[in-house]
Every structure is written in structure tokens, then in C-alpha cells.
Amino acid sequence: MGAALAIAFHCLGHHVFATARNPSKLAPLAEQGIETVQLDITSSSSITAAVGSNLLETNLWGHLAVTQPFLPLLLRSTATSPSPAYQGPRAMIVNHTSVGSLAALPFQGIYNASKAALAMLSETMRLELEGCFAGLRVIDLKTVGVKTNIIENNNINSASSPGGEHTDDVLPAETIYAPAREIVTRAMSQVDLKEGMKVTAEEWAAEVVPLLLGKNPPGAIWKGESASMARLAVSLPRWGNHGGGLFEGFLKKMTGLSEVESVMKESRGA
């Protein structure tokens, strides 16, 4: 999705710097005239070179490590006079926290936690910076379903056999979910979630960029498959002392957790 955003901004005439750990992924962007820089946001030396651990490192600490050295450049741009035709913010910090920062997707706990931490960091930066530096905005992208390679590239699918089927050794031998091992493995792979994703990264970017460049962009931008429904669902109250509610039931069914629960209860004679 980052590539789609970079292209969308570039097509509108903006000077875009696109970064990636793997330089080969930058080649298509460079061919379109986008300035590319190899950058590993988990590497301090890589960040220093660009300016002039794993899941949390990427989704939380990496964002902070990149923001800190680039912040002086953003603040400097708030003191400049933009084109009269441009009415948007003079500088922006845009973090992609996704709906995972609010929805507890089963079997994705570390990912959810990393995105929730980034969302809180973004909200804190918004409070700290926007009132002190006019023209600077901090914006949170609450993306829902978008067709990308994130599911194919997750650890479970990377561990699949050459034929694409999921192997059983992704769970430890002593897993507490042994009776439902196959179902849990499939749920962790998220392959079933992919079926409902129709929005492409390009379509998503085409909706996000105009909002970012608008006169008064919202602090949180909800886009992607069924974004409005997801936004409503995460705001619904929970029932009782143990959560519950329509959205929780939907999450269980969507991710296969409801099937896991049935198998586990049966195995335990419940």
C-alpha cells in the first residue's frame, strides 16, 4: 500500500521519497521518476544514512526512530509559504495503524498490540505537536481490508510447503490447541480473510491521498473494504464482564475462532 500512496502523491506533482529495505522493490517506482532510498527502519545506521525486535521494531520503534530525525525537516517546512492553490497541511506525520489497532483479531495478538501501540503513539504525538507547531498534522490511517501481499508474506504462509498447503509444524508440539491444530493453523494463515478483500491498493490510495491533501484532513482516515461498517462495529459497547457483543461474534466467525471453540469444547467434554 505504501507504493500505491507514493505513486498517487507523485502523480499529483509531489516530490516523493520512497524507501524500502529491499532495493529491488523500489525499481518500479524509480522507473516512474520517484526518488528512492534504501532504508531499514529497524536499523539506526540505515536511518542515519538516509537522513544525511521484528514486529514491534517495525510497527512501533521503527516509526519513532524515523520520525525523530526527520521532524526538524517537517518543522522547517511549516515555516514556508506553500503554493496559493494548496490549502492542505504544510507538514504531516502519517502513521498506518490499521483497524488492527482497535479490533482484537484472534491469533494475531502481537500484530494487534504493535498497531495499538503505534495508534497511541500517534495520538500522543498529535497532542504534543499540533498545538505547538501550526501547519503540522499527525494523522492515523485506520485501513480495513485491502488486497495486498501481507497475507501471503505472513510467517504461517511462508512456512507452507511448496504446494501452498499449510504444514502442521507452525504450532509447537505441546500447543494447548492440539485438538484443533489444523483449524488454528488455517486461522493463523488468514487465507479465508483474503477472500472478502476486493479493494486494491491503488483504489485505496486514490481515496486516501485527496483526504490527506485536503484543507482540514481528519485525525483518523478510515478506508478499505467495509470501512464504515468496521468503524461502527469497533465503537459498539461490549456486553457483560467478559466482552461479547455482535462484533466479537463476527470476529470469531470470520477468523475461524468459533470453529476452534467448538472443537476444543468437544475435546474437553464441555
* pLDDT tens profile 23-59: 888 888 988 888 888 877 666 666 555 555 577 878 8
Distance CA 157, CA 245 (A): 31
Name which of 39, 67, 102 is nearest 247 in CA terms: 102
Q: Which domain holds residue 103?
A: 2-154+190-235
pLDDT tens digits, one per residue of 63-112: 998 999 999 999 999 988 777 778 888 999 999 999 999 988 888 888 89
CATH number of domain containing 81: 3.40.50.720
Q: Given phi > 0 = left and psi -120 to 50 = alpha, else beta, which region is 244?
A: left
Statement to judge: residues 51 and 180 lie in one domain: no
Give the residue numbers annotated as catalytic, written as ranges: 111, 115
**Is there a domain that residue 161 lies in?**
no
Residues 26 and 86 in one domain: yes
183 and 194, same domain (yes or no)? no
* Structural domain contains residue 159: no
- Report the C-alpha gap between 242 and 156 in whole angstroms: 29
Same domain, 184 and 208: no
Of 154, 234, 163, 160, whose CA–CA distance to 194 is shortest?
154
Report pTM.
0.76
**Number of domains the chain contains:** 2
pLDDT of residue 165: 47
Shared domain check, 199 and 133: yes
Same domain for 251 and 227: no
Give yes or no: residues 44 and 135 share one domain.
yes
Q: Answer with the residue of higher pLDDT: 135 or 147.
A: 135
Q: Which pLDDT score, from 0 to 100, does residue 58 have?
A: 81
Amino acid (one-letter) located at 57? E
- Return the residue matching grid coordinates 478483500: 197
Q: Phi and psi for 126 in degrees, rounded to 5? A: -60, -45
Same domain, 46 and 178: no
30 and 60 inside one domain: yes
Burial pattern 114-146, b for ≥16 Cβ within 10 A else e, equals bbbbbbebbbebbeebbeebebbbbbbbbbbbb
DSSP-derived letter for residue 43 is -
